Structure 1
């Protein structure tokens, strides 16, 4: 147990220095293939040390993996022409090579060179194959990523150019200068955005976003300047016009549907369109243009969120901001598809009984024979998802339908693929308790057969070969005995036969296809296993050649503690719950450490990491002397339907009983160093709701919580996410799950964090908790961040530091280092 006079300064220093210590300790080679010519041979860059790399060529047909060229000889040849070079750090980031490796071309600065037969180096005057990034239409903030890559900026202007990295808040950070006619390679990360501006006047030239593969960025004067702010383009919905001008064409004018004949004469077809109930401009013509469908709709209600920007950078006075933001129970746009006969110039009467109360209606197009128009009807409350068919005679039918007494997971599991030649459809459904694929006859609306089956889930469909009647899909949990969240690639026939796993290895998999789809690069990892990559035969899944096998030994030597996987039974004593444990690198098994759980229990996904990562933020927290855990409890996604249904009208549950059972089991299995009398929890957004909920509903177990940007009352949050799980109409279940309503139950220490300009979750949701806590005379800490948006608790370093200080005070009983000493 920590004492009040414990000196935690060394722990804080070790935590603060962790990122620097491990920065170059783990060098991962990601096999990012560059295909050679039109074949399936490829090369990739193999990283094996800080700024150390080589180039490898793989010939699948020969089953060969070998150096792309003689690196020592090329380095010597470059030095002979005055270019500094070492064999393990050549001054090039990309090559253009032949399959036999006899010719290798590459760029160094503004010059292109060719190295032939591992002997002759000469300047090359032709063009070479290079990956390039095109300028963005508008500058945007960088997206966080751990995928390292390079951009080589080539300055073709006549002036010096400054390079700025655009941070995650959209602010420029100057990094380098590229003189006119020169180039500069910058190590960066996929998703990071870079600005190129003239050095003398700061005029913006272009902005570029880094991709997964190393690439060049050409900076040219001819390129149009990029707007600094992101402009939302207002596009007018255009009618789907007939291919031939001699066919009748439907259009919308004066809120109603009209038809224009080939001679230009216009006739009004509808009469009840008004400003408050108009027809949408988009028209869906039948293939022969005899019929058309138009959507008459009632607009969504106006629901405005107001925010005050207290400290704008461009003025002294505060600024009022507002935006449209529907919340649960608000009136959504209601569409009503209507059929028109353009030849007879009349409406075809249809019954809307099968689509009376839509949350949304989405176009699915006309049948191949042009006799039926189809759309996807998502009923308000999300308990019915139905493909509706309107035929040209006015008959309305249900083609395929899903229903549930809880919810249909439309936002994550909706999938359909029409096979027009056979009038069939592949459809995803949880009707047997797991997300599987089914084949339907669109003519009869009958199910022909179940394509996939088992106690696992189809995560997504990669591709469909209609001629071979085969499907390639990503499967979660298809290998018995492995983590049910691990992804594998599989193939199956339309009739459900010949289900074949094409990836292998205990871990979660990603893959890249060769251009001819004869081979695939399979990479897998776990939180406790660095990535491995092999080349496989795409037909059989058999390994052709091993490519890379990474390890994290150097990380451990640098003071990084390996992440541990752990499984235990949940609340019911039989369902396995999966999570991870991160100890401090200085763990003393004879001491006892407080436990902190990172929580996000949003029902749209699962959140415990599955692939290998350094998880630096979590490890920094552990270095302060905590055991950090992360768990996926019931109510999260991609297990059975029954597992998922725990969230229905019950977001306050957040799987917390499963988390408590899991943490208790972890501490009882040879981990006596986990002190369950001192358990904290933190999370953002829905995780913020759950973190505070842990204190309200399970204050006997959780003693401290930090809640960032929380949606503390689901009636205050965005409509789609909350109605998806809590249902419609808004009922008592919403109040039952509200942290605001139950704020008086608070026990333990609470820290609330919110950004005043959060456009994802209304910041008033946090302030309503503050008000309720004040009324209940409860103590709490509040970190209110001017100018900040959603997730400020994890995006801003000072907010992260404040949370860590909070947990040190309340779980260790000691004061963190003083920072206001001048």
Structure 2
């Protein structure tokens, strides 16, 4: 490793030129998404300009663009700058003479007359109610379901709901219960759906009265009280017998009559988080999805709305884990086609994620729609006879994580009937799957159902062509042949290159078996010189449900696991982000390679991949590698420090899952069901630990710690319980191991963008990897900023 000069305050200031919000400010048109005008082959986009941005409406058939409205007129109505209107979303109303808009920093939506400029505050789409087909709104109040009529009058649909026995609500433990309790926030009715005519509502009532509460102590309450507050969140810990019980009902919104939905087959229940409901046109039946806690099974079920009887149409079991999509946070790749009496089903049964045609009457697979040694990512659109989806490639050369658009016939006699890849460029094409019901109801922002790259007719698509090392070009194309109609926007990164920023580098290496291909990216400092030696850091995530590495240019700047990495690298590091075996978007074999192994996150594979990359890049110094990660990435960080202590020598772990026994049920998706002596699923005593989970526990390897480890946590973290961290610290203490703790007061799980945390992370690596003194007590002087998420 080369000797480093002493760190100076100016080094921090220079690195902050690449702070995430500064990166995004310095680029133009890296994310241009269309919102389609309902019933038309037109869409609007927001395009960056030298002065700000403008809204354009585009004719998809010709590519002709024109202003979406008179920007000066709208600016006067909003008392805003015409070159930088604070509009987040808008819809055309009536004949296009008005718009209804969501405006930044305004609680209500507004309607603006595009002829007179008259403005009125109105109620727009909201994450707190569910709009019915007849204009009525369904919402939750005082643990019951209520209906708001178009004239504003309200009536209770249920009256027997109470705390912990609530209608249409998420379980008390929903990863944000404490925050919502502090802020008195509400969400859209969950696990709830209107019938096509608005007569019926399918919903659920969750009984958690017998589930034990988990205490969270708010030491410095938000209301300023000097007395700490305790928030009890009803939560089942792995192995406990008492769990929430969910009962499903069909409610008649006119008469109030209730029909209980029958219990499903043993081992599965209706899936509350997916939010997928397919009603028959006459409302007589509704299809939905079912699964179980460890996700070993997935099923499509049919509910008779008159009797409440249930039929399992199709059920699939996996020896490891089953998913309705390779990425858990995206909507299932399942559709019910009522007019055909068929359904589309997703499965990895052949070794790769593919689509199948099911017969709804018999429950039999008619045929495979797609097949081959490549993976379907997201089902995007189904028309009368054509299916469009995003998928990858596994040809041994192409990056398998790049999203391509495919078209395939539904009526063919064999799989891959008239299969066409419409995006031929060696790049990512940005096709984003719809979020799950839970993701779509996030109160952060309104997500329009018309905001998609494919036109609703399936005739056109907006292609976002980019890589981490290729700035975005946004084009309008035809699905008939992939022909480009018009270039809509090209990214401008001049302001970044002017300050010496360079693009990340994509690399390919191999896992520990020396055969399996592993892909990732490297971020280098601006003053990088390949004749010098650079210390290496890794940002890690892991597990079966998502990937960490960026694919598009926008993700490369500030993707979900990229926050702050360009600034960190600029202090004098090369930072790697990669996805090893055990993660999705590849084959089922790749997905399962680390299943039930002590090295569940494939730490040996990460080490091998970095060593392979360094063999071709002598400037990568692997003598003192640092590693960091949050949540499951925090778990990966500590396991890296314990399983490969001679390689990973410095770690910063934030809110890691250190003890699965102290976590809630969803851990089972990653580790399998807990097993106790005699094959029991339920523990006999509070302290009993599942024997099949011991090998995953960092506590079991506490004696192996050699390097420097910083553990950060928030006391109100509902995703990863703080007690797990303290249990791990106890194990380290018993072994006489030194460890550093960073307590983030009154933080939940989501504090990784906090400048203070980022500064402490930088300093830890400066001190123990570069072995030089950081500048202490220096505030970074920036706002936290936000990470980009995959669904927009």
Deviations 1:501-557 (A, max 9, x none): 233322221362446543222112111011011211132221122333325354222
Q: Rg larger in 1 or in 2?
A: 1
Q: Is 1:722 matched with 2:668? A: yes
1:328 counterpart = 2:234? no
What is aligned with 1:804? 762
SS at match of 1:421: helix
1:680 positional shift: 0.5
Who is 1:14 aligned against? Answer: 14
For residues 415 and 294 of structure 1, what CA distance do their matches in structure 2 show? Answer: 22
The question of 1:477 aligning with 2:393 is answered yes
2:377 to 459, 463, 479: 459
Distance 1:304-1:217 versus aligned 2 partners, 3 A rule: farther
Q: Is 2:534–2:619's contact at 8 Å kept on the other side of the alignment?
A: yes
Q: What is the deviation of 1:62?
A: 4.6
1:420 to 311, 333, 338: 338
1:630 CA drift (Å): 0.3
Change (3 A) 1:57 1:571: same
CA RMSD of aligned residues (A): 4.7
Q: Evaluate the alpha carbon distance shift between residue 560 and residue 351 of structure 1 in structure 2; reply closer, same or farther with a 3 A threshold.
A: closer
* 1:236 and 2:144 correspond: yes
Deviation digits for residues 368-390 of structure 1 (CA, Å, limit 9, x no counterpart): 99999976542454323334679
Task: Give the counterpart of 2:753 among 784, 795, 815.
Answer: 795
Match of 2:464 in 1: 523
Pick aligned residue for 1:752 from 711, 716, 721? 711
In structure 1, the residue matched to 2:166 is: none
CA distance in 2, matches of 1:130, 1:477: 45
Aligned in 2, Cα 1:105/1:372: closer, same or farther, shift over 3 Å? Answer: closer
CA contact (8 A) 2:287 2:303 kept: yes
Aligned ranges for residues 76-155 of structure 1 at < 5 Å? 95-96=68-69, 106-110=73-77, 129=97, 131-134=99-102, 151=103
Partners of 2:668 and 2:674 within 8 A in 1? no
Aligned with residue 517 of structure 2, among 564, 572, 576: 576
Q: Are 2:400 and 2:586, in contact at CA under 8 Å, matched by a contact in 1?
A: yes
Aligned residue number for residue 153 of structure 2: none
1:419 is displaced (CA, Å) by 2.4
Instruction: Call closer, same or farther: CA 1:608–1:775 in 2, change over 3 Å.
Output: same
1:127 Cα offset (Å): 11
Name the counterpart of 1:403. 317
Please show how residues 239-388 of structure 1 align to structure 2 within 5 Å.
Answer: 301-313=210-222, 314-331=224-241, 332-333=243-244, 355-358=265-268, 360=270, 376-387=289-300
Indicate the larger mover: 650-659 or 411-420.
411-420
Contact 2:544 2:670 in 1 (8 A): no
Greater strand proportion: 1
**Which of 430, 435, 443 in structure 1 is aligned with 2:348?**
430
Most deviating of 298-307 and 574-583: 298-307
- Cα distance 1:370–1:789, how it changes in 2: closer, same or farther (>3 A)? closer
Q: Deviations over 1:690-744 (max 9, x none)?
A: 1011111110110000010111111222312434543344632322111133322
For 1:111 and 1:335, how far apart are their aligned partners in 2?
46
SS for the counterpart of 1:732 is coil
Distance 2:118 2:541 in 1: 38
From 595, 606, 627, the equivalent of 1:648 is: 595
Q: Is structure 2 residue 357 aligned with structure 1 residue 439?
A: yes
Q: CA deviation at 1:805?
A: 0.6
- Superposition deviation, residue 129 in structure 1: 4.7
Aligned to 1:409, the other structure's residue is in SS state: coil
- For the Cα contact (< 8 Å) 1:584–1:627, is it kept in 2? yes
Structure 2 contact 144–159 (Cα < 8 Å) conserved: no
Q: CA 1:222 to 1:234, structure 2 compared with 1: closer, same or farther past 3 Å?
A: closer
> 2:637 matched to which residue of 1?
691
Residues in 2 aligned to 1:300 and 1:638: alpha-carbon distance in whole angstroms: 39
8 A contact 1:18–1:559 mirrored in 2: no
When residues 285 and 521 of structure 1 are mapped into structure 2, their CA distance, relative to the original with a 3 A threshold, is closer
Given that residues 603 and 647 in structure 1 are in contact (C-alpha distance below 8 angstroms), is that contact kept between their aligned partners in structure 2? no
Q: Deviations over 1:644-697 (max 9, x none)?
A: 11343347431212211111111111x222110110000011111110111111
Deviation at 1:480, TM superposition (A): 7.1
- TM-score, scaled to structure 2: 0.71
Counterpart secondary structure, 1:814:
coil
Please state how far the C-alpha of 1:481 moved relative to its aligned partner. Answer: 3.6
CA apart distance, 1:12 = 2.7
Aligned to 1:608: 549
Q: In the superposition, relative to structure 1, how do residues 334 and 361 fare at CA in structure 2: closer, same or farther (>3 Å)? A: farther
Q: How much does 1:393 deviate? A: 12
What SS does the corresponding residue of 1:317 show, helix, strand or coil?
Answer: coil
How many matched pairs? 648
2:774 paired with 1:816: yes
Given candidates 384, 408, 414, the residue that maps to 1:492 is 408
**Match for residue 428 of structure 2 among 499, 502, 508:** 508
Instruction: Judge conservation of contact 2:294–2:666 (CA < 8 Å) in 1.
Output: no
Q: Which residue of 2 aligns with 1:79?
A: none
Instruction: Give 3-state SS (helix, strand or coil) of 2:355's partner.
Output: strand
Residues of 1 paired with 2:337 and 2:526: CA distance?
Answer: 55
Rounded Cα–Cα distance in structure 1 between residues aligned with 2:710 and 2:296: 37
Query: How far did residue 777 of structure 1 move?
Result: 1.2
Matches within 5 A, 1:564-713: 564-613=505-554, 614-615=557-558, 617-650=564-597, 652-669=599-616, 671-713=617-659
Structure 2 CA distance for partners of 1:40 and 1:440, relative to 1, 3 Å: closer
Q: Is the 8 A contact 1:366 1:372 kept in 2?
A: yes
Measured in 2, the distance between the counterparts of 1:365 and 1:337 equals 16
Which SS does the other structure have where 1:385 is aligned?
strand
* Cα offsets for 1:26-59 (capped at 9, x unmatched): 222654557789754566554343x266777755
Name the SS for the 1:109 alignment partner.
helix
Aligned equivalents of 1:752, 1:703: Cα separation in 2: 14
- Tell me what 2:476 maps to: 535
In structure 2, runs of 5+ residues without a counterpart are: 80-93, 111-116, 129-138, 148-157, 162-190, 251-258, 432-451, 676-680, 682-689, 780-792
Q: Structure 1 pair 735/577, CA: closer, same or farther in 2 (3 Å)?
A: same
After superposition, the Cα gap between the structure-2 partners of 1:728 and 1:375, relative to the gap in structure 1 and judged at 3 Å, is farther
Once residues 283 and 588 of structure 1 are traced to their aligned partners in structure 2, the CA distance between those partners, rounded to angstroms, is 57
1:736 counterpart SS class: helix
Distance 1:687 1:44, change over 3 A: closer
Provide the C-alpha distance between the structure 1 equivalents of 2:206 and 2:764, rounded to a whole number of angstroms: 51
CA–CA distance in structure 2, aligned partners of residues 402 and 37 of structure 1: 37
Contact 1:566 1:580 in 2 (8 A): yes
Judged with a 3 Å threshold, the aligned counterparts in structure 2 of structure 1 residues 35 and 297 are, in CA distance, closer, same or farther, namely closer
CA distance in structure 1 between the aligned counterparts of 2:771 and 2:140, rounded to whole angstroms: 50
Q: Answer yes or no: is the 8 Å Cα contact 1:713–1:734 preserved in 2.
A: no
Q: C-alpha separation between the residues in 1 aligned to 2:202 and 2:775? A: 68
